[in-house]
Amino acid sequence: MSYVDWRMKGPEIANCNCDWGCPCQFNALPTRGNCRAMTAMRIDEGHFGDVPLAGLSWVGMFAWPGPIHEGGGEAFAVVDEKASPEQRQAILTILSGQETEPGATIFNVFATVIDRMHEPEFRPILFEADEERRTGRVTVEGIIDTKVDPIRNPVTGAEHRAQVMLPNGFEYKKAEYASGETSATGAVSLDWQSRHAHMAMLDLSTRGAA
């Protein structure tokens, strides 16, 4: 089957309601029995066919009543308001798992376990990420605020650094693990502190993660 050639490369911030490390990263069940999460990306390089995507950002908010693989999920996306109509459609097409080889990306996999896609919104997105320092911020005024900091030793307060390699990952190949807090009051509500976060340099395309 022929697909539109697309690519998105740039930093990612993800934060979920699981404890640090996130069992899902190791094919285990979620810490609290259900999964609620956000993920965001700034596209430094990218295209969808002949539509350029560089310089844009997006944020996704997700919720499942149980483990992700059991389905029943809902999703809500915010796309950078700077995007043109063609760019908006391109990003939403990618995020919904279309024009992608089956199982090749996290978007395509998630699409099979999401029952409800809320209407997207187009807003200004603040995206700041320093993967080396494990710090970051994602803010969409009136919708979501996520802050990421290093995991700290509970006794000494010293920063604890952890990296995870997933050679066959459909999201990332290597990520820095961190601690995050999120408050979201949009179509998918989220609320927690000191939970799993990871930061990675994504390089996703029609064929999967590079």
pLDDT digits (tens, 9 = 90+) for 67-125: 999 999 999 999 999 999 999 999 999 999 999 999 999 999 999 999 999 999 999 99
Nearest 10 degrees: Cα torsion 139, 81, 202, 209: 140
Q: Is the dihedral of CA 8, 76, 86, 107 positive or negative?
A: positive
For residues 43 and 172, what is the distance between their CA atoms, to the nearest angstrom? Answer: 15
- Find tokens 């992608």 and name the residue: 100
For residues 91 and 87, what is the distance between their CA atoms, to the nearest angstrom? Answer: 6
Q: Please check whether the domain covering 6-209 is classified as CATH 1.10.3470.
A: no
pLDDT band at 1 (very low <50, low <70, confident <90, very high): confident
* Beta carbons within 8 Å of 20's beta carbon, 6+ residues apart: 151, 177, 179, 194, 195, 196
Q: Tell me the pTM.
A: 0.96
pLDDT of residue 111: 96
Q: Which two tokens stand for residue 86?
A: 């063609």
